[in-house]
Structure 1
Amino acid sequence: MSPSMEPSLNRRKLRLALRHAREQAGLSQREAAERVEWSQSKLIRVETGTVSVSVIDLRALLTLYKVTDQALVQNLEDAARGSKGPSWWSRYHDVVTPQFAQYLGYEGAATSLSTYHPIAVPRHLQTRRYAEALLAPRGVDLDRCQRVVELRMERQQRIFDGPAGPAAAFILDEAAVRRQIGGKAVLAEQLEYLLDLSHRERITVRVLPFEAGANDSTLGSFVLLGFPDDDDLLYLEHAAGSMTGGEDMKLLARYQECFQAITDAALGESESVDLISRIKQDLGAR
């Protein structure tokens, strides 16, 4: 991973490599921090990828962990140089919380993304007008509203339009595709966008029908991110947002099971497309 790439991805690379090297050296975070005369909180921030790592600090850790493979050392030094600087979402700092910024870093590295929303179309899939209509009742300042919408549009572009985006699975409750947020025209446009996305590679859009009855979908909206080289991650979409990974495997497993149950109860891909198409046609007939 070169210095020119997204800084958050370089930080993630360092996080995984340094955590693995420390564990191989048989050291706890407290012991490692004491050996290099750091605070434990500094090492924790490095191992969670929330801060960049200087080459000098990196070398101190690699020496402590007895990492001598010169090709690996050079690779990690390049990543350290590339871990500094702003990420793409930094220009939206006025509308992105630190917690959500950390999540966006993980999302950019994920190879799979699975999400469910019981009330509205997920942010990943919203059209511009739908997003604006969704934000309007919250009394959000117009300028701030536009900033939030721009963030959502760029986030979508990075996930769906790049050559190496994640395999993305979206389960929408039937209520989400029927609720007329913004009115009939806005919803019709939104449904047309869902139909377009459903035909793209790496993306599946399915609907959990009303007749599915009671199920774990009442847990609310959430996102599951999958990685080939790290623990899966759960992001709960509420006002503050919260992430859970390997530190709470029971909660993570509960939501993984929930998503599987919702998937099993949802309509198939073609059936979902048919339902969305019928709802869109009904909007025009009224």
Structure 2
Amino acid sequence: MTQKIDPSLNRRKLRLALRRARERASLSQREAAEQIEWSQSKLIRVETGTVGVSVVDLRALLNLYSVSDPGEVQALEEAARGSKGSSWWSRYHEVLSPQFAQYLGYEGAASALHTYHPIVVPGHLQTRSYAEALLGPRDLDQESFGKIVDLRMERQQRMFDQEEGPACTFVLDESAVRRQIGGKQVLKEQLDHLIELGSRPRVSVRVLPFEAGAHYSTLGSFVLLSFPDDDDLLYLEHAAGSMTGGEDLQLLARYQECFQVITNLALDEAQSADLISRVQQDLGVR
């Protein structure tokens, strides 16, 4: 199923192209803003992808940066026209933190996603029943509860049910596939879902078994995103959420190393599917 290009992806395309064009022109953000009589904050918002840009404003920037190739100009003008409007997750804004909303924009543009979850099945892979059971103990009103679950389901559909998308590697601790969130029947359905998703061409589901012993891990879940045209990004999953990329290369490298060590210790895809099947059998539920 083909999806309309999300405005956040067009803003990202413009962000990267305009920043690089400015750097090639040897202009600072302040210098560029002054020459086209913008506030520096406006240029910063454009280069961070937090706002769209009109075709008129785009042409002023391209002229300043001496970008004249007809094909490149046309592609960027199309991106500018598509940079306005709301992203798909905007209808869930009441239950999204600004950090996570920004992260979703990056996730939609990633070429690869690597994530480790030590406690529960991650939202990317959850069934509706599992998500509802996991959210049950939280003090949420019915509307917020429903929107969070719907957000997870739509995010999953957009990631896995399109022809194109990131290559995904999910490493789950064995405790995550054994913890009976929602009871035995809900867990069995969730494990069925893991096996089905793990059988798809660009999805790898691997389990870090108890037998792996001590390992270079973290206190919580994390996601590493890779891009063909930008720096890698680290998203740490906690109450507030936090992202880092090229501005903290040491932290990014530490988590990249951590994921590599965890992956080396994890079972491969076939062994992981076998372990998940054994957990299902232990549940004694048909």
TM-score range for the pair, normalised by the shorter chain length: over 0.9
Q: Which residue of 2 aligns with 1:54?
A: 54
State the match for 1:191 in structure 2: 191
Gaps of 5+ in 1: none
TM-score by length of 1: 0.96
Contact 1:33-1:43 at 8 Å conserved across structures = yes
Q: Is the 2:188–2:285 contact (alpha carbons within 8 Å) kept by the matching residues of 1?
A: no
Corresponding position: 1:28 with 2:28: yes
Q: Is the 8 A contact 1:118 1:217 kept in 2?
A: no
Q: Deviations along 1:226-264, whole A, 9 cap, x unmatched? A: 111111111111111111111111111111111101000
Distance 2:209 2:182 in 1: 22
Q: Any gaps of 5 or more consecutive residues in structure 2?
A: none
Shift of 1:285: 6.4
- Once the 2 structures are TM-superposed, how far is the Cα of residue 216 of structure 1 from its aligned partner? 2.4
SS in 2 for 1:196: helix
Query: Does structure 2 conserve the Cα–Cα contact (< 8 Å) formed by 1:224 and 1:233?
Result: yes
Partner of 1:121: 121
Cα separation, partners in 2 of 1:29 and 1:19, compared to 1, 3 Å? same
- Could you report, residue by residue, the CA deviation over 1:116-141 in whole angstroms, capped at 9, with x for unpaired residues? 11110001000001101111111222
Separation (CA, whole Å) in 2 of partners of 1:246 and 1:134: 34
1:202 partner amino acid: R
- Cα distance in 2 for partners of 1:42, 1:240 equals 26
Distance 2:88 2:70 in 1: 31
Corresponding position of 1:214: 214
Deviation by residue 1:31-89 (Cα, 9 ceiling, x = unmatched): 22222222222212111111101112111211111111122112211110110011111
- After TM superposition, the structure 1 = structure 2 runs for residues 165-176 of structure 1, keeping only pairs within 5 Å, are 165-176=165-176
Cα deviation for residue 20 of structure 1 reads 0.8
- Give the secondary structure class of the aligned counterpart of 1:216: coil
Q: Which residue of 1 aligns with 2:181?
A: 181
- Specify the SS of the correspondent of 2:168: strand
Aligned position for 1:268? 268
The residue aligned with 1:145 is 145
Contact 2:185 2:285 in 1 (8 A): no
- Identify the residue that residue 284 of structure 1 maps to in structure 2: 284
Task: Supply the distance in 1 between the matched residues of 2:261 and 2:32 (Cα, whole angstroms).
Answer: 42
Rounded to whole Å, the distance in 1 between the matches of 2:285 and 2:10 is 52
Distance 1:13 1:113 in 2: 19
Q: Percent identity?
A: 74
* Distance in 1 (alpha carbons) for counterparts of 2:213 and 2:29: 47
The size of the alignment, in residue pairs, is 283
Cα separation, 2, equivalents of 1:245 and 1:75: 26
| TM-score under structure 2 length normalisation | 0.96
**1:154 is matched with which residue?**
154
Q: Does 1:229 find its partner at 2:211?
A: no
Matches within 5 A, 1:128-139: 128-139=128-139
Deviation, structure 1 residue 224? 0.8
Per mean C-alpha deviation after superposition, the further-off stretch among 71-80 and 7-16 is 71-80
CA distance in 2 between partners of 1:137 and 1:281 (Å): 27
Counterpart AA for 2:66: K
SS in 2 for 1:124: helix
Partner Cα separation in structure 2 for residue 70 and residue 192 of structure 1: 51
Q: Tell me, what secondary structure is at the counterpart of 1:249? A: helix
Aligned alpha-carbon RMSD (Å): 1.4
Shift of residue 171, structure 1, vs aligned partner: 0.1
Deviations 1:146-205 (A, max 9, x none): 110000000000000000011000000011011111111111111111011111110000
Rounded to whole Å, the distance in 1 between the matches of 2:61 and 2:218 is 45
Alpha-carbon distance in 2 for matches of 1:27, 1:214: 50
Letter in 2 for 1:185: Q
Name the structure 1 match of 2:73.
Answer: 73
Question: 2: CA distance between counterparts of 1:119 and 1:38?
Answer: 48
Q: Does 1:240 align with 2:240?
A: yes
